[in-house]
Chains A and B, each alone.
Chain A
Amino acid sequence: GAGVSQSPSNKVTEKGKDVELRCDPISGHTALYWYRQSLGQGLEFLIYFQGNSAPDKSGLPSDRFSAERTGGSVSTLTIQRTQQEDSAVYLCASSRTSGGINEQFFGPGTRLTVL
């Protein structure tokens, strides 16, 4: 079946512009996660959606970052007034939530470059 998909795969933007990154999770997965991964670094948690519950936004680095998930499926991560330090790969993951097992399936990521 289809895995997690993300678009665009690459995005180059100028400093100060807004960008939108999209994530399509695996059908039926109720949990969706956004991570940021700078070159050679680990997985930095950004935000977590679980069903109809209020999202956990505790990882968002500033108020320039926001995300929404419409209809419990597709999610969009928006970065306003981009800065050069926002350059990174943005990874989305989704998972079932049952039985205490949380295998997260990752998308291929969006590589964001802010000039």
Chain B
Amino acid sequence: GENVEQHPSTLSVQEGDSAVIKCTYSDSASNYFPWYKQELGKRPQLIIDIRSNVGEKKDQRIAVTLNKTAKHFSLHITETQPEDSAVYFCAASEGSNYQLIWGAGTKLIIKP
């Protein structure tokens, strides 16, 4: 079955700098890769996702890149702000199975 690994577990960056979180997956049949943000005490919410027929997707300060050959995908946050502080989860899904296999999460800390 699918396995998703996420690194780093904690990431601390200076406000205004960029942050990159990386996930690897094992099942080459996976074709949907979402990223969720969970602020302290709140529920996870989708922030961006990518399908396997696309290599990169951007939405303002966040972007996701996908390398199908290497089976990894990354979340990029530019010009980080205090409100970006949260736990970020990656996930992978194979099209005919609507379950998501989740990474362990990355705690992003934005230093003022």
Chain A residues at the B interface, C-beta cutoff of 8 Å: 31, 33, 41-43, 45, 48, 50, 56, 91, 95, 97, 100-104, 106-109
Contact = CB atoms under 8 A, between A and B. Distances in A.
Given A100-B32, A107-B43, A42 B51 contact: no
B104 A42 contact: yes
B98 A106 contact: no
Interface in B27-52: 31-32, 34, 42-46, 49, 51
Contacts of A101: 32, 49, 51
A103 B46 contact: yes
Interface of B: 31-32, 34, 42-46, 49, 51, 89, 93, 95-96, 98-100, 102-105
A43 B44 contact: yes
Nearest to B96: A100
